[in-house]
Amino acid sequence: MSQDHSHDQPSDPALQVKALESLLVEKGYVDPAALDALVDAYENKIGPHVGARVVAHAWLNPDFKRALLTDAKSALEELGITGWRSANLNALENTPSVHNLVVCTLCSCYPWSVLGLPPTWYKSAPFRSRAVIDPRGVLSEFGVELPEEVEIRVWDSTAELRYLVVPQRPSGSEALSEDALAALVTRDSMIGTGLARTPEGVAQEEPG
Amino acid sequence: MNGIHDMGGMHGLGPIEIEPDGPVFHAAWEGRVMALGDSMGPWGNWTVDRFRYLRETIAPADYLTKPYYEQWLMNFLRLFREAGLVSESELASGRPDSGAPKHEPKIRIEDIARVAGREDTARREDGKTPRFQPGDGVVARTISPTGHTRLPRYARGKRGVIDRDHGVFVFADTNAHGRGENPQHVYSVRFAARELWGETAAPRDGVYLDLWDDHLDPA
């Protein structure tokens, strides 16, 4: 606890956080084991693997998909997914004529319950500033080119609603199991900055 | 406030640095910041709206350059100090002040299943009658409050259409400043891309914002 006493401008965040944690533990406010468990939850309990399971289930079950698109909270409960603000989740379906893209221009709102914590780029100024004014340019940076006749809907998460994109099911995936389908569903495809992978694409990336 | 955080529609902020399979945290301290903030929540009475407002008041140059979780750390330090949970001398020395009371943690490891991912509390059962129905034409108000607002500059004064009514929520703009929850309806409002950005935008594209009754007037 020597170098920098200017608390608004931490010079070395690792040291400062360590010092802060030991102070808060010593004052009896926090339990270090609980902190470990919280970090484990952020890193492992939530994440895009949850959303991928939801999307794959929706691809296989039209009734579930309908329920997901109209009342995502109840649909998620069917799969045992609760908490992490899932009560205010809305699912948006991509189709051949409509492509949805999610952003939070004002801060970093993100559907934790199904995608976990947001990637750095999602929270960054370049994405936040341009997703609303130039979605096609943004998509192009992610390698996605959409025909002009496709309507792009950008969802700016300005309140407590959260949005999950249900990407289009790729062709060639008709015979796949739910687990194999879930492996095609990328995080970016559920934000709308990507498309689901194709079985051929997966085979090329992971030969053997 | 018309701050740097309200960046929707700006140009010139650079290419997107895409990281396809990055870790959740790039350093262990980042996860500790989040866990400390969550664990300290029951000791203070701050709201997510207050938290967001505090981040908006970070100096613009820092907002654009300081790593995200450093900004969260700055926020939490401010909240802890405001709530009187830690003193300046404790932060400087790293040790409790002499005579400071010893507390018992409010969140123990056995509470994690309950508190991690606790459900959002911004939805309210009762509030004002909705002023709009899906399909109604609206215009976003032209406002320039110096405090917190969830109505971005790029939509102010623009015409849109109510897409759906999400129900009643705490009004962030007042709640951030301790001026009450003021619960009211929140709608997804569709704005045509050309209404927002002009004729160079794709004719069919649209932007949907979640706005409260107090952000909107009939078109």
Please give the angle made by the CA atoms of A126, A131 and A132, to the nearest 5 degrees: 125
Q: Output the pLDDT for position B117.
A: 74
CB–CB contact B43 A29 (8 Å): yes
Q: What is the pLDDT of residues B116-158, one digit of tens each?
A: 777 767 999 877 899 999 999 999 999 999 999 999 999 999 9
CATH number for the domain running over B28-115: 1.10.472.20
Overall average pLDDT of the B95-101 stretch:
95
Specify the pLDDT at position A207: 59
Chain B residue numbers with beta carbons less than 8 Å from the beta carbon of A10 are 70, 73-74
Chain A interface test: which of B18, B123, B166, B200 (most A C-beta within 10 Å) = B18
* B28-115 and B123-218 have identical folds: no
Q: Which residues of B touch A124 (CB under 8 A)?
A: 16-17
ipTM over 0.95: yes
Say if A203 is an interface residue toward chain B (CB within 8 Å): no
| 3-state class (DSSP) for residue B210 | strand
A119/B22 CB distance under 8 A: yes
> Which pLDDT belongs to residue B110?
85
- What are the residue ranges spanned by the domains of chain B? 28-115, 123-218
| pLDDT at B89 (0 to 100) | 96
Which residues between 28 and 57 in chain A have a beta carbon less than 8 angstroms from any beta carbon of chain B?
A: 28-31, 33-39, 41-43, 45-47
Q: Point out which residues pair with B186 in neighbouring strands.
A: B167, B212
Q: What is the rounded distance in angstroms from the CA atom of residue B94 to the CA atom of residue B104? A: 19
pLDDT at position A10: 47
**Residue A24 near chain B (CB below 8 Å):** yes
- One-letter amino acid at B15 equals P
Q: How far is A64 from chain B (nearest CA, A)?
A: 21
Supply the pLDDT for residue A11.
65
Q: 3-state class of B170 per DSSP?
A: coil
Domain coordinates in residue numbering, chain A: 47-205
Contacts A46 to B, Cβ<8 Å? 117
Percent of residues in chain B assigned helix, strand, coil, to nearest 5: 35, 15, 50
In this prediction, the residues of chain A whose per-residue pLDDT falls under 70 are 1-11, 207-208
Give the mean pLDDT of chain B.
95
- Work out the angle at residue A45's Cα, subtended by the Cα atoms of residues A88 and B208, and round it to the nearest 5 degrees: 30
**Are B9 and A47 inside 8 Å of each other by CB?**
no
- The CATH number that domain B123-218 falls under is 2.30.30.50
For chain A, what is the total number of helices (H) and then of strands (E)?
Answer: 11, 4
Please give the CATH number for the structural domain made up of A47-205. Answer: 3.90.330.10
Question: What average pLDDT does this structure show over B87-104?
Answer: 95
Q: What is the pLDDT of residue A14?
A: 96
Among all residues of A, which ones are annotated catalytic? 104, 107-109
pLDDT of residue A83: 86
- The pTM for the full model equals 0.95
Measured between alpha carbons, how far is A34 from A200 in angstroms, rounded to an integer?
44
Cβ-in-10-Å burial (0-12, 13-18, 19+) of B20 comes to exposed
pLDDT (tens digit, 9 = 90+) per residue, A113-162?
999 999 999 999 999 999 999 999 999 999 999 999 999 999 999 999 99
Q: Residue B139, SS3?
A: strand
List all residues 6 or more positions away from A107 whose beta carbon is below 8 Å from its beta carbon. Answer: B5, B52, B55
Distance, CA of A70 to chain centre: 19
